A and B are shown apart, each in its own frame.
Chain A
Amino acid sequence: MKFGERLRALREARGLGLREFARKAGVSPTYLSRVENCKENEPKKEETLLKLAEALGEDPDFFLASVGVISSDVRRRMQLNPRLFAKLMKLLKAVSDESLAKTVRDGKW
């Protein structure tokens, strides 16, 4: 599902009209309509994405991640301590599903 299609599905599921959603998100209805109809690329500007997420009540980090955008907050943390970030990235790459396995304990029933 493309970004625009998903955006429309999320908006409709919340019972928001196009104009109302555009007003809440601070974008023009024409622009929003073009994005929803996939005639316009997904917005890459963090500010716009955050406003869309807020208008939908979505988790902003998840919303940004789903379009491949890193928030300025995360970017700032990366720059503050690049060595730590590099270590974290290496750890993240090494994490496999199996390494996160947890044993399930049974009881009395």
Chain B
Amino acid sequence: MLQLINNQLTFSFPNVHPDCKVTIEFQRTFRIPDDGKTYPLPPGLGTFPLKLVEEHADCVHPEWKQRGGVFLPMYQAEALWVRFVPHVSPRRRHAYPFAIKLSAGKRSAVTGKKWAAVLREGDYCIIPEQPWIDGFVTEHGRVAQFIAAPLGSGLTVEGQLTGKEEFGGIQIEAFPMLYTEFDKRFPKIKETKTGGSILRCCSLGDASQLILGGKTMDWMAVESERSVEGRGMGMGAGGSMKQEVFEDKYGFEVWDRNAVPVSERRVFVHLANSSLYRAITGESPPQPPITAEQAARYGYPWFEHYNDDFDLRVMGASKKLKGIKTVKELAEAQGKQMPGNETVTVPKCKVVKVNPGEVRNGEW
């Protein structure tokens, strides 16, 4: 079963195991500069509001209605990262593991392969080892930030890989570990352990307080209105950041590919531009986020995730995603200049290093 609770999506499969649960949320953040440099990970600025397509069925595009799922508001060139929140059982030392497929425009963010209704080897992330994913895997230990681009603009990764911008959005499918494997690998224990998820957020209150000014906002707002006929947005590739996406350390055979019906283990997350979101819901979307330059000026933290688990290997770039063009490059090829890509300096003291054993948050 998939539930929307407090702007988070929670997959829970009690028929597989009482502890079989994982939560996913979509974090707002600022767009890192696309300047050829590699940056650490930007912080979370709060979750995107999530709405059920079903509750707005009369107002959404027929394609959205057909696909179901949820939608969230984004401005063009706004960035997003996905947070996986494992649920650590008080009776175990470990959260229930999941293999999670993540695609944008029905193209895998880790391999660039076309969406398929099955689990394919090497085409997913493993939870709880992977706490976040911020973009398309374009190099070993590097990703290109997820940034929103209207369907029909020619700026999405989907458009580059397929020649069309048909689906957009984000697609997620969660496969739990076989319960027999879970019981074998993580037997019940007497003492309890809490924690396990890593916070990567700024304690600056509601993200809607973070306002962007100047040219970048104008560009975002104007371009955002150009999305085609209410079909929403897709994901393009932004600046490069250091992020390790881990290979499956458990083995492909441990994932349960049959216990859960397809419709309960997957979700289509549509991306609505600001005017579309307003038209559908009658609500205002959050204000556009700050720029990387403003974040640097106000001393926002950056993050680096490290994992000292020697069994984990970092995924390399796939043939399809290696060398994909960024939104900035594609926009320039169309004769448009994309602001907000000026280099920013990230002082070492502002980079917070976290591993899965830690829960980090604080005042900045």
Contacts and interface: CB of A to CB of B under 8 A. Distances in A.
The answer to whether A and B come from one shared complex is yes
Interface of A: 1, 6, 9-10, 13-15, 58, 62, 66, 97-98, 100-109
13 contacts: A1-B204, A13-B210, A13-B212, A13-B213, A15-B213, A62-B208, A66-B209, A103-B3, A104-B4, A104-B68, A105-B53, A105-B263, A107-B53
Top 9 A-B residue pairs of the complex, sorted by shortest distance between their CB atoms: A107-B68, A106-B263, A109-B67, A13-B211, A104-B2, A101-B3, A101-B5, A97-B6, A107-B67
A101 B4 contact: yes
Contacts of B3: 101-104
A4 B339 CA distance: 30
B290 interface: yes
Contacts of B68: 104-107
Interface of B: 1-6, 9-10, 52-55, 65-70, 106, 167, 171, 203-206, 208-214, 262-264, 266-268, 290, 294, 298, 363-364
A109 B205 CA distance: 37
A14 B214 CA distance: 8
Contacts of B203: 1
A105 B68 CA distance: 6
Contacts of B1: 103
A107 B66 CA distance: 6
The CB with the most chain B CB atoms within 10 A, among A15, A102, A104, A105, is that of A104
Nearest to A106: B263
A104 B54 CA distance: 8
The CB with the most chain B CB atoms within 10 A, among A97, A98, A102, A108, is that of A102
Contacts of A10: 209, 211
Contact of B69 (A6, A100, A101, A104): A104
Contact of A106 (B209, B211, B268): B268
Nearest to B52: A102
B205 A13 contact: no
A68 B346 CA distance: 35
Contacts of A103: 1-4
A108 B67 CA distance: 5
A96 B9 CA distance: 16
A100 B6 contact: yes
A67 to B, nearest CB: 11
B5 A98 contact: yes
Contacts of B67: 106-109
Nearest to B9: A104
A104 B5 contact: no
B267 A106 contact: yes
Given A106-B266, A108-B67, A15 B214 contact: yes
A97 B54 CA distance: 20
A13 B52 contact: no
Contacts of A58: 209
Contacts of A101: 3-5, 10
Contacts of A66: 205-206, 209
A1 to B, nearest CB: 5
Contacts of B210: 9, 13
A14 B266 contact: no
B3 to A, nearest CB: 4
A1 B363 CA distance: 7
A62 B206 contact: yes
Nearest to B269: A104
A107 B69 contact: yes
A104 B52 contact: yes
A15 B268 CA distance: 38
Nearest to A56: B211
A6 to B, nearest CB: 7
Contacts of B10: 101
A58 B206 CA distance: 12
Nearest to B51: A102
